[in-house]
Amino acid sequence: LHDRDGKIWMDGELVNWRDAKVHVLTHTLHYGCGAFEGVRAYATERGTAIFRLQEHTERLFNSAKILRMQIPFTQEEVNEAQRAVIRANGLQSGYIRPLTWIGSEKLGVSPKGNRVHLMVAAWAWGAYLGEEGMKRGIRVKTSSYTRHHVNITMTQAKTVSNYTNSILANMEATDDGYDEALLLDPSGFVSEGAGENLFIVKGGVIYTPDLSAGALNGITRNTVLHIAKDLGLDVVQKRITRDEVYIADEAFFTGTAAEVTPIRELDRVQIGAGMRGPITEKIQSAFFDIVNGRNPKYAHWLTLV
């Protein structure tokens, strides 16, 4: 990924992709205090547009606030940076990765006195869990790793260090031949996927873990709440157990990278008919209509680049 042509926005300017480097004594590289976003741009009829740009930028600033980091740019500048990298790399659609980190002036655990940096990169990225998974559903395993407790790491921040837990869970699940991991909170209730929020469908009602289970307040999760309302479907946010997932009619993951990905199996237990369910398909299709600019009601969620 590092050795290619293109531009990356770094601390206020577009630099050559290969020159976008940091020092090995970068504080965040040692202690993991940093925050990032994952954003997508879609090729709509009106042109390339970033989906829910302002909400992603706001979450980045909130993550930084939780980490007591002061981003040295305004939200407007960070919005502009994201549009600029899509344009500069000639992308019609793609994934955008803003990241804020602490510099290399000093290396004590206390980051005080270090500069805070920000970069934004963008590249083409298709279906995160595979095209096949989008149609047929993926196979998921309950992780042996527990998701973060709400007072150990900060679960409403999309922090760099939170992802060690995601990586361990994802590697364990994929080494065992599954597509993704599902993590439980410290009390054993369902929290979220390694990089996705979870939804289940039972008797025509949609359920998703409430955020006290340590799940990230996903922007795709929020989008699905809107879609469900439009479809006249009730969504209940509550504590969910793993066996409720086994006996659900349908299940799916949501995320900027994962979009809306059906789940056909958890721990080798088939969910519903073992394929993408009818409500999941409706939500998935409504989601792609919105992000691709085919639903005028949500035109305000798309920012042309």
From the list 220, 261, 280, 284, which residue makes contact with ligand PMP (rule: CB under 6 A)? 220
CA distance 75 to 262: 34
Q: Closest approach of Cβ 219 to ligand PMP, in Å? A: 4
Q: Any catalytic annotation for residue 158?
A: yes
Q: Any contact of residue 221 with ligand PMP (CB under 6 A)?
A: yes
User: Does residue 50 contact residue 96 with C-beta atoms inside 8 Å?
Assistant: yes
Q: Residue 177, by phi and psi: left (phi above 0), alpha (psi -120 to 50) or beta?
A: left
Residue 197 binding ligand PMP, by CB under 6 A: yes
Q: According to the binding rule CB under 6 A, does residue 38 interact with ligand PMP? A: yes
Candidate residues 78, 216, 271, 290; the one interacting with ligand PMP per rule CB under 6 A: 216
Cβ neighbours, 10 Å, residue 149: 12
Using rule CB under 6 A, residue 111 touches ligand PMP: no
Distance of alpha carbon 207 from alpha carbon 279, whole angstroms: 12
Is 192 a binding residue for ligand PMP by CB under 6 A? The answer is yes
Spatial distance between the Cα atoms of 301 and 55, rounded to a whole number of angstroms: 9
Q: Closest separation between CB of residue 214 and ligand PMP, Å?
A: 9
Spatial distance between the Cα atoms of 66 and 51, rounded to a whole number of angstroms = 24
* Of 72-80, 103-111, 248-256, 260-268: span binding ligand PMP (CB under 6 A): 248-256
Q: Report which residue type is found at 289.
A: D
Please state, in angstroms and rounded to a whole number, the distance separating the CA atoms of residues 107 and 42: 40
Which residue out of 21, 65, 112, 158 is catalytically annotated? Answer: 158
Query: Does 261 help bind ligand PMP (rule: CB under 6 A)?
Result: no
Beta-strand ranges (E) seen in 185-276 are: 190-193, 197-202, 205-209, 235-238, 250-255, 259-266, 269-270
**Does residue 93 touch ligand PMP according to CB under 6 A?**
no
Nearer to ligand PMP, 104 or 261 (CB): 261
Site for ligand PMP contains 214 (CB under 6 A):
no
Output 217 or 295, the one with its CB closest to ligand PMP: 217
Instruction: From residue 52, give the alpha-carbon distance in Å to each of 56, 99, 198, 301, 302.
Output: 6, 17, 20, 5, 6
Q: One-letter amino acid identity for 108?
A: G
Rounded to a whole number of angstroms, the minimum distance from the CB of residue 250 to ligand PMP is 19
Is residue 167 helix, strand or coil? helix
Angstrom distance (rounded) from CA 165 to CA 183: 9
State yes or no: residue 280 binds ligand PMP (CB under 6 A).
no
Instruction: Provide the minimum distance between the beta carbon of 156 and ligand PMP in the complex, in angstroms, as a whole number.
Output: 11
Question: Least Å distance between CB 190 and ligand PMP?
Answer: 12
Binding site for ligand PMP (CB under 6 A): 38, 166, 192, 195-197, 216, 218-221, 254-256
Active-site residues, by number, are: 158
